[in-house]
């Protein structure tokens, strides 16, 4: 079947753009700019898979004025890593993502108040006893029964968007609509989420809406249209991780806020296409636009429809007003719970008043059970056993105190979150952006198995 397929690029301030593709033997195809400031063309294509790129006269300050640069489609849903090009799949005369058919989408899932969350990095969690056979999404899928036995009913995945290189924590997103190809195909992620639903497990994704990778297409096309020209917080350079979306910028000619529109499209896409059940918003302090946060939360819940959805914020220092009655978020990370554990569980004394406070977050102005995510470790907070205070204890005593921390975690007011490998006492201190595979062999050791039994909810 042959059909006219539209290719378009939103580049309001750019003077010219062309389309390059495998369908044209990479010869440039001129694009016309319309009144909405999209460059567009229609190409007649047979069903199949094609690679393409745009070539645009950049308005970004890192290039010469109007310099021609090649960029991937900012809305590409798949990236061909070998050629670093965007991929489009055509079937029955229309664009498709894949042909996956959902089987458990009507399954009843736990409400927000019932969540017990297991957070993981797909690449490090995957593998059977360290093996690398099969795709990484598939390897996670093979361990769903293990997670069910642990007692969790929600998985929080660290970013699964396409990132540069072969290994990363995922926080330098390059392609916001594409799945990280080293983890598997789009259908593999859908099958993982679908089988989670079949087991009554919700899947939450981490959304990186504050920053991006240096080679993100938007940065190459017109940096200052989507991002702050300088650091949003110049007085706080330690918390600058790359160009930050400018949620204040307004385009009067089009009547839009560009960053709102783009990230709104991203959120709607992941909810509608991948049927996710919640988003953890990274570095909310860096977003720092309460109007945008209220709007994006409404957009997320609208896209989710009548299915349960959970919007939670990572904000340091913790900020109860984010989840107040008029606040935008449903929940936020409860960092003081982790700090209490580090400062008290490995010492000779216990601050009882502080214990009461972190066990009942209402004493810190939080109003609902869903307002706080309690945790002892996370992707950038080491396991208790790797903390300096625990290193001073003998291994048996350290594991015993870590088990006490697990008991407090699952009994405190709020939603408990386990960071992968916490349940069996892995203590290796991770190196940023370096593989830190789970040491599954530890489950064969009796002390580590006792830790698993304690953590089991």
Per residue in 339-376, pLDDT tens?
999 999 988 788 999 999 999 999 999 999 999 999 99
Evaluate if residue 129 carries a pLDDT over 50. no
pTM: 0.96
Percent of the chain topping pLDDT 70: 97
Residue-wise pLDDT tens digits, 153-168 = 999 999 999 999 889 9
Determine how many CB atoms are found less than 10 A away from the CB of residue 416. Answer: 24
> Distance between CA 146 and CA 148 in Å, rounded?
5
Residue-wise pLDDT tens digits, 67-81 = 999 999 999 999 999
Domains of the chain: 2-96 (2.60.40.10), 112-455 (3.20.20.80)
Q: For residue 304, how far is the Cα from the chain centroid?
A: 17
> Distance between CA 268 and CA 54 in Å, rounded?
24
Where residue 147 falls among pLDDT bands split at 50, 70, 90? very high
Where residue 130 falls among pLDDT bands split at 50, 70, 90? very low
By residue count, the chain amounts to 457
pLDDT at res. 67: 98
CA distances from 169 to 121, 127, 164, 239, 380 (A): 7, 17, 11, 16, 10
Percent of the chain topping pLDDT 90: 82
> Distance between CA 157 and CA 171 in Å, rounded?
12
Backbone angle region of 314, left / alpha / beta, with phi > 0 → left and psi within -120 to 50 → alpha: beta
> Distance between CA 408 and CA 358 in Å, rounded?
10
> Distance between CA 160 and CA 177 in Å, rounded?
10
Where residue 131 falls among pLDDT bands split at 50, 70, 90? very low
Give me the residue label for tokens 């489950």: 443
Q: At residue 203, what are phi and psi to the nearest 5 degrees?
A: -120, 120
pLDDT at res. 430: 66
> Distance between CA 242 and CA 447 in Å, rounded?
42
CA angle, 363 then 365 then 370, to 5°:
95
Residue-wise pLDDT tens digits, 223-262 = 999 999 988 888 888 888 889 999 999 999 999 999 999 9
pLDDT at res. 331: 97
């Amino acid at each position: 079947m042959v059909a006219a397929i539209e290719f378009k690029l939103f580049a309001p301030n750019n003077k010219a753009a062309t389309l390059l593709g495998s369908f044209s033997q990479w010869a440039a195809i001129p694009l016309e700019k319309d009144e909405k400031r999209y460059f567009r063309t229609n190409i007649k294509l047979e069903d199949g898979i094609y690679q393409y790129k745009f070539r645009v006269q950049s308005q970004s300050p890192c290039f010469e004025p109007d310099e021609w640069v090649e960029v991937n489609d900012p809305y590409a849903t798949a990236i061909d890593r070998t050629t670093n090009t965007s991929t489009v799949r055509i079937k029955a005369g229309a664009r498709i993502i894949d042909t996956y058919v959902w089987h458990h989408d009507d399954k009843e899932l736990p409400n927000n108040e019932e969540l017990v969350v297991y957070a993981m990095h797909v690449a490090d969690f995957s593998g059977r006893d360290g093996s690398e056979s099969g795709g990484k999404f598939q390897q996670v899928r093979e361990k769903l029964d293990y997670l069910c036995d642990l007692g969790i009913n929600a998985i929080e995945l660290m970013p699964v968007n396409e990132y540069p290189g072969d290994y990363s924590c995922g926080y330098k997103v390059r392609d916001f609509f594409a799945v990280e190809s080293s983890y598997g195909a789009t259908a593999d992620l859908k099958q993982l989420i679908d089988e989670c639903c079949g087991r009554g497990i919700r899947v939450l994704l981490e959304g990186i809406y504050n920053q991006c990778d240096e080679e993100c297409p938007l940065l190459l096309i017109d940096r200052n249209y989507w991002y702050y020209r300088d650091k949003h917080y110049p007085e706080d350079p330690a918390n600058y991780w790359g160009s930050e979306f400018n949620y204040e910028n307004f385009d009067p000619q089009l009547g839009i806020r560009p960053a709102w529109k783009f990230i709104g499209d991203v959120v709607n896409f992941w909810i509608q296409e991948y049927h996710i059940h919640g988003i953890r918003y990274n570095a909310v302090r860096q977003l720092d636009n309460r109007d945008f946060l209220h709007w994006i939360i409404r957009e997320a819940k609208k896209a989710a429809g009548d299915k349960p959805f959970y919007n939670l914020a990572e904000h340091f220092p913790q900020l109860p007003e984010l989840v107040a009655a008029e606040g935008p978020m449903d929940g936020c990370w409860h960092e003081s719970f982790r700090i209490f554990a580090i400062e008290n569980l490995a010492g000779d004394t216990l601050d009882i008043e502080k214990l009461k406070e972190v066990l009942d977050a209402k004493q810190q102005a939080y109003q609902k059970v869903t307002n706080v995510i309690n945790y002892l470790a996370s992707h950038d907070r080491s396991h208790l056993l790797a903390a300096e205070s625990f290193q001073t204890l003998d291994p048996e005593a350290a594991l015993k105190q870590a088990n006490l921390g697990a008991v407090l975690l699952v009994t405190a007011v709020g939603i408990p979150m386990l960071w992968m490998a916490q349940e069996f006492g892995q203590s290796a201190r991770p190196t940023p952006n370096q593989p830190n595979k789970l040491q599954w062999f530890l489950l064969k050791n009796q002390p580590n198995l006792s830790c698993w039994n304690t953590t089991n909810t």
